[in-house]
Amino acid sequence: MNEKKIPKEKKDLIVRTLENTLTTENINKVINGESQLKRVFTKIVDDLGIYYKIGLTTDFTGKLFNEMYGWLGFSQDKLNDVVLTPSYVANLLVKLARVNKDSYVWDFATGSAGLLVAAMNEMLDDAKRTITSPDELAQKEIVIKAEQLLGLELLSSVYMLAILNMILMGDGSSNILNMDSLADFDGNYGFGKTEDKFPADAFVLNPPYSANGNGMNFVERALGMMNKGYAAIIIQNSAGSGKAITYTKKILAKHTLIASIKMPIDIFIGKASVQTNIYVFKVNEPHHKDEPVKFIDFSNDGYTRTNRKKASNNLKDTNQAKERYEELVSLVRFGKSKLNIFTEQEYYEGTIDPNNGADWNQSAPIDTKPTLQDFKKTVSDYLAWEVSNIIKQQNEDDAPGK
C-alpha cells in the first residue's frame, strides 16, 4: 500500500478492517490441525492466485468475494441483495454506456467495483488502440486510473473489497468512496481535485433491488447530476413495469430511454433468481413520445449456466454467446440494420409514453392476421385430409367381408 501511495485514511481503514477480521477467535481456532483462516487462504491461493500472477485483467476481488460468499454468506446482506455482476455482464454494460479512453465513469452502488474494473479495462484498451506515443500512453493510463473513475459504496466491508480490487488491478482506487450516494454525495471528486465536480459522462449500475423503486432512485440521482453521456443499468424488470413509476416518469422527463433488454433469468445463478432488464439511456435529453425504443429479448444469450460448486467452469458458450453479445451492442447502437443472429421476434422497435413510466418491458407483437399464404396452406391441408379420408373409406368398402 505504501508503494501504491494509498492515502493514509484509506490505508488505515483497510488495515483496521483486515486486522479485526483476521484476528477473530473463530477463524483462528484449530480444528484437525488447521484453522479456518488457513483453509480460506489456501483456497484463495490455489483457485485465484493464478489470475494475479499472470497479470490477467480480471475482477480479482469479485472472484474472491464469490468464493467467500459460497462458504460464509454475507453478514451485512440482511435483504439478500448484495449481488455481484458477472464479468461478461459488466463488460456488456460498459460497452452499452459507450465507454472509451476519454470517458468519466461512475457507479453509485459500487459493490466490489466489478463494473468500474470493466470500465477501467475498456478505457485502457481503447487508449492502447488509439495512442501511438509510449509516453503519451503512459500518462493517459495514469489519468484514467486517478481521475476518470468514481465509485460510491455504503457498506464498509464491501467498500474495502472495492479498494483492494482496484489496487490489485493496477489502482484506480483514488476515488472509490465509502459514502451514501443518495444522501451525502455532492458530485465532487473524493481525492485530488476535491473542489471540482466529477464530469461524469458514463453511468453503470447494478443497484440493491431492495432500494426504493428496485434501485431506480440511484438512477434518477446519478443521471440528474450529469450533463451529457450515456447510462446502462441492470435492474429487476418490475422497475420498468410499474413498481418504480415515481422514478421512471421523472427520469423520462429529463432523459431518453434508448433500449430495454430482457436478460436471462438465471444470470445471477446461485444467488438471485429474479428477472432483470438492462435499460440504456441518453442523458439530459427528455424522452419524446415518438422516440423509437429498441426492445430486445436476450433470454437466449448463448450461455448455459450451472451451479456446481466443484465445477471448473459453470458458464459454457453453447450457442454463439460471444457473437450474440457483440450483436446486442451493435443493435442498441445502430438498430435493425445489424440484425443477424437475432430473430425479428427478439428485436422490436416501439414507442413508450413518457407520462406512463410502466411500459418499458415490451416485446414484439404477435401477428394474428392471416395472410393469403396462411389461407392457401389451410385449404391445402384440408383437401389433403379430405382426400386421405376418401381413399381410406374406399379401401374399407373394397375390403372383403368377414
Residue pLDDT, tens place only, 145-170: 989 999 999 987 788 778 877 777 66
pLDDT, residue 5, reads: 65
- Is 255 or 154 the better-scoring residue by pLDDT? 255
pLDDT digits (tens, 9 = 90+) for 281-326: 999 999 999 999 999 999 999 999 877 665 556 789 999 999 999 9
- Averaged confidence pLDDT in the chain: 84
> What's the whole-model pTM score?
0.80
* Percentage above 70 pLDDT, the chain: 79
Nearest to 286 by CA among 354, 217, 383: 354
Q: How far apart are the first and last CA of the chain?
A: 99
Q: With contact defined as beta carbons under 8 Å apart, do 155 and 172 qualify?
A: no
Q: What is the pLDDT of residues 42-74, one digit of tens each?
A: 776 776 666 656 555 555 555 555 554 444 444
Q: Are residues 384 and 271 in the same domain?
A: no
pLDDT of 78 higher than 60: no
Residue 33 lies in a domain: no
Split at pLDDT 50, 70, 90, the class of 4 is: low
What pLDDT digit, counting tens, does each position of 326-355 carry? 999 999 999 999 999 999 999 999 999 999
- Range ranked top by mean pLDDT from 13-27, 173-187, 199-213: 199-213
Domain assignment of residue 108, yes or no? yes
Task: Find the CATH number of the domain harbouring 178.
Answer: 3.40.50.150
Query: Which has the closest alpha carbon to 121: 93, 100, 142?
Result: 100
When pLDDT is cut at 50, 70 and 90, the band that residue 3 belongs to is: low
> In terms of domains, do 272 and 401 share one?
no
| Mean pLDDT, residues 36-43 | 73
**Are 387 and 331 members of one domain?**
no
Contact assessment for residue 211 and residue 250, using Cβ atoms and an 8 Å cutoff: no
Mean pLDDT, range 229-236, rounded to an integer:
97
Establish if 112 belongs to a structural domain. Answer: yes
The larger pLDDT score, comparing residue 43 to residue 383, is at: 383
Q: Based on the fold, state whether residues 207 and 239 are members of the same structural domain.
A: yes
127 found inside a domain: yes
Q: Are residues 244 and 387 in the same domain?
A: no
Rounded to an integer, the average pLDDT of 375-401 is 74
308 and 269 in a common domain: yes
- If pLDDT is split at 50, 70 and 90, which confidence band does 384 have? confident
Is there a single domain that holds both residue 384 and residue 272? no
- Does 390 lie in the same domain as 287? no
Quick check: 88 pLDDT over 60? yes
The reply to whether 323 falls in a domain is yes
In a domain, 183, yes or no: yes
Distance CA 174, CA 197 (A): 15
Q: Which residue, chain included where needed, has cell 467495483?
A: 113
> Higher model confidence: residue 25 or residue 66?
25
Rounded to whole angstroms, the Cα distance separating 128 from 121 reads 10
Q: What's the pLDDT score for residue 76? A: 44
181 and 117, same domain (yes or no) = yes
Q: What is the pLDDT of residue 74?
A: 44
Residues 235, 383 share a domain: no
- Reply yes or no on whether the pLDDT at 261 is more than 60: yes
Same domain, residue pair 291 and 377:
no
HSE (CB half, 13 Å, CA atoms) of 27?
14
Domain residues for the domain of 382 are: 370-402
Lowest pLDDT segment from 11-15, 84-88, 188-192, 343-347:
11-15
Number of domains the chain contains: 2
Residue 365 lies in a domain: no
The predicted pLDDT at position 52 comes to 59
Within this chain, do residues 243 and 378 fall inside the same structural domain, yes or no?
A: no
Coil, strand, or helix at residue 293? strand
Classify 105 as helix, strand or coil: strand
User: Which of 27-41, 94-108, 260-274, 349-363 is least confident?
Assistant: 27-41
Q: What is the pLDDT of residue 70?
A: 46
Q: Is residue 36 part of a domain?
A: no
330, with CB counted inside 10 A (0-12, 13-18, 19+), is middle
Mean pLDDT of 354-361: 96
